[in-house]
Amino acid sequence: GVRPLMENSGSPIGPSDKFDIVGIRNDGGIDAVIVCNGPLDNSSTTLHDLELKVRNYLREIASEDFISQCGSGPVCIYVSCSHTVPTEADQLIADLAIEAAQQRVLLHLGEPVG
């Protein structure tokens, strides 16, 4: 039989069109987290999924809907991965962080503190 193609089947990155976690900090800043459901690998599929998800977060954060709901405080996007991240994914995050910074968004690997 033909197996239906599931979006991102087997990808450690969840659906690209949804925020995994968004929280508003006491200081008015906004933490948005991309949760990796498993170890990232350096396959083009995984890297593409990660890039797509980050870009969607950046686009959504700039939207009027998001700003009206969450405010326009400083935004941090965390890529939360409990496994070792391959060099390629690390480099991709570093490259995307440069783009994010132009939007005054901080993007990095790790967890929100507190």
User: How far is C-alpha 102 from the chain's CA centre?
Assistant: 16
36 three-state secondary structure: strand
Q: Look at residue 8 in the predicted model and tell me its pLDDT.
A: 45
Helix axes 44-61, 87-102, angle to 10 degrees: 20
- At 10 the pLDDT is 72
In this predicted model, what pLDDT tens digit does every residue of 60-113 receive, in sequence order? 999 999 999 999 999 999 999 999 999 999 999 999 999 999 999 999 999 887
Angstrom CA distances, 93 to 23, 29, 57, 86, 107, stand at: 21, 21, 13, 11, 7
The pLDDT-based confidence of 1 (bands split at 50, 70, 90) is: low
Label residue 7 by pLDDT band (50, 70, 90). Answer: very low
Query: What is the pTM assigned to this prediction?
Result: 0.88
Query: May I ask the CATH architecture of the domain 21-109?
Result: 2-Layer Sandwich (3.30)
> For residues 20 and 49, is the Cβ–Cβ distance under 8 A?
no
Domain boundaries, the chain: 21-109
For the stretch 52-70, what's the b/e string if a residue is b when 16 or more beta carbons lie within 10 angstroms of its beta carbon? ebbebbbeebeeeebeeeb
Instruction: Specify the pLDDT at position 5.
Output: 47
